[in-house]
Amino acid sequence: MGQTLSDVRQSGCRKPSGRVAERAGWAQAYLRPEAVWPLSRGEGVTVAVIGSGVEASAGTGALAGRLTLGPRLHGEGDAGRDCVGHGTFLASLIAGRRTADGGPSGIAPGAKVLSVAVTDDAGSTNADLLARGIRAAADGGARIAVVAAPIAEAAPALAEAVGYATAKGVLLVAPAGPDGQSVAAPVYPAGYPGVLAVAALGADGAPAERSASAAPEAPSSGAGGGTGGTGGRASRVDLVAPGEGLVAAGPGGGSFIASGPSYAAALVAGSAALVLGRSPSLTVDQLAERLRTTAYRPGTELPDQTVGWGTVDPVTAVAAGGPSGAGSAGAGTPSPPEPVVVPPPADPSARRLASALAGVGLGGAALVGLAAAAVRVGRNRAGRNRDGHRAE
């Protein structure tokens, strides 16, 4: 899963986007986190983004006042430089707030972000860097950490770091496969027990398995587009989340579009931050179980090989327990969720979901361009039965 610096050397680091999204992307409409923002916006929760870094300018933009720059474990400087743009995009998906230029907000716009840089300028990393990054996130006070750069090799140091972080109360979330690349073996740390492994969904609600590109790009102005996707995987899958044609802020400003399971993992991490914002006493195991037991079920035997326990459902996950953590999921069936009124969208056009079929890869896929956007219509998530799942 090697990666070269040829693209970076030829074109330099990711340039700012001159385009700004006019409305939230389809993932926001699909998951509807705003329905529980009156209960939790993720305040008091720190989510670590372990990857290519998070552009420091985001600390005065979408992440204003909520970005902490941790160590850079490869190269010089701190974690406030993001040449590939991947970490900045992930952080925006997790905790970005709508800015003056109208860019989309993240899942948990009250959460804090801790940036830990563990890759070179092209997004490549190794087990030692990942292990050190996981430990740095745990020592830096994170309650949730997205390990954004999967690798193909298991390593004792990485397994030990996973155990270290879990023991310190950190929920690790990782993509079940690399962005933009098919693989025939598990990737790590998603392959380790105790890590929430996340795969991607397309805008049609089906698992996104096609090959895709590897770095966030500005939206294309063309009307056409290729049929990019989110890469293959062979790791265990615990949950799925939107991961195709996602829109968020990138390095230097403007809106970018990207696809891949790492972005789906970011949305799961943001959902976990919402849960902890309301139920801060949950343990790592309780938090992971809450996300699994409140997932939007696939209607097949669980866990399903393709989608695990189902699609992450931040509305039901937050509603399933009160501020003290009461009603949290344990080993059995969760308590019935407290009622949460989910209002219909104020503007019906918000259901029209712009999905640019493209993508990004990190830690194993070469950086290539992004296809143009295609408009799709997402599912209305309002129809649920009592336990938070779809009424059949």
Q: Which of 359, 385, 372, 332 is nearest to 85 (CA)?
A: 359
Lowest mean pLDDT among 118-132, 308-322, 361-375: 361-375
Q: What is the DSSP letter of 65?
A: T
Q: What angle do CA 158, 160, 162 make, to 5 degrees?
A: 70
pLDDT at residue 5 is higher than 70? no
Adjacent-strand bridge partners of 354: 375
Q: Is residue 29 part of a domain?
A: yes
DSSP3 helix / strand / coil % (the chain, rounded to 5): 25, 15, 60
Number of compact structural domains in the chain = 1
What pLDDT score was predicted for residue 7? 52
Which backbone phi and psi does 196 adopt, to 5 degrees?
-75, 115
In whole angstroms, give the CA distance from residue 120 to residue 53: 10
CA atoms within 13 A on the CB side of 371: 23
Q: Is residue 1 part of a domain?
A: no
Task: Tell me the pLDDT band of 390, cut-offs 50, 70 and 90.
Answer: very low
pTM: 0.78
**Is 146 in contact with 90 (CB distance < 8 Å)?**
yes
Adjacent-strand bridge partners of 78: 71
Q: Which of 125, 67, 118 is nearest to 94 (CA)?
A: 67
How many helices (H) and strands (E) the chain has is answered by 8, 11
What pLDDT score was predicted for residue 23? 65
More confident site: 295 or 22? 295
**pLDDT tens-digit map of 93-150:** 999 987 655 556 899 999 999 999 999 988 999 999 999 999 999 999 999 999 999 9
pLDDT at residue 369 is higher than 70? no
Token pair of 292, please? 């699994």
Q: Is residue 389 part of a domain?
A: no
Adjacent-strand bridge partners of 238: none
Q: Is residue 6 part of a domain?
A: no
In whole angstroms, give the CA distance from residue 293 to residue 373: 34
Q: Which of 86, 95, 141 is nearest to 117 (CA)?
A: 86
What pLDDT score was predicted for residue 324? 52
**Is 328 in contact with 282 (CB distance < 8 Å)?**
yes
> What percent of the chain stands above pLDDT 70?
68
Task: Tell me the pLDDT band of 11, cut-offs 50, 70 and 90.
Answer: low
Which backbone phi and psi does 89 adopt, to 5 degrees?
-65, -45
Q: Is residue 261 part of a domain?
A: yes
Which residue range(s) make up the domain with 81?
Answer: 19-323+349-377
**pLDDT tens-digit map of 206-241:** 888 643 444 565 543 332 333 234 444 456 899 999
Burial of 98 (0-12, 13-18, 19+ CB in 10 A): middle
Mean pLDDT of the chain: 77
**Is 268 in contact with 173 (CB distance < 8 Å)?**
yes
CATH of the domain at 114: 3.40.50.200
Q: Is residue 343 part of a domain?
A: no
Task: Tell me the pLDDT band of 296, cut-offs 50, 70 and 90.
Answer: very high
More confident site: 284 or 19? 284
**pLDDT tens-digit map of 328-363:** 444 333 443 443 433 444 444 433 333 332 333 343
The DSSP line for 277-337 is HH-TT--HHHHHHHHHHTSB--SSSSSBTTTBT-B--HHHHHHTS-TT-TT---SSPPPPP
Token pair of 88, please? 């900045």
Q: Is residue 383 part of a domain?
A: no
Q: Is residue 337 part of a domain?
A: no
Element (H, E) at 29: helix 26-31
In whole angstroms, give the CA distance from residue 148 to residue 52: 8
Angle formed by the axes of helices 284-293 and 261-278, to 10°? 110
In whole angstroms, give the CA distance from residue 157 to residue 144: 20
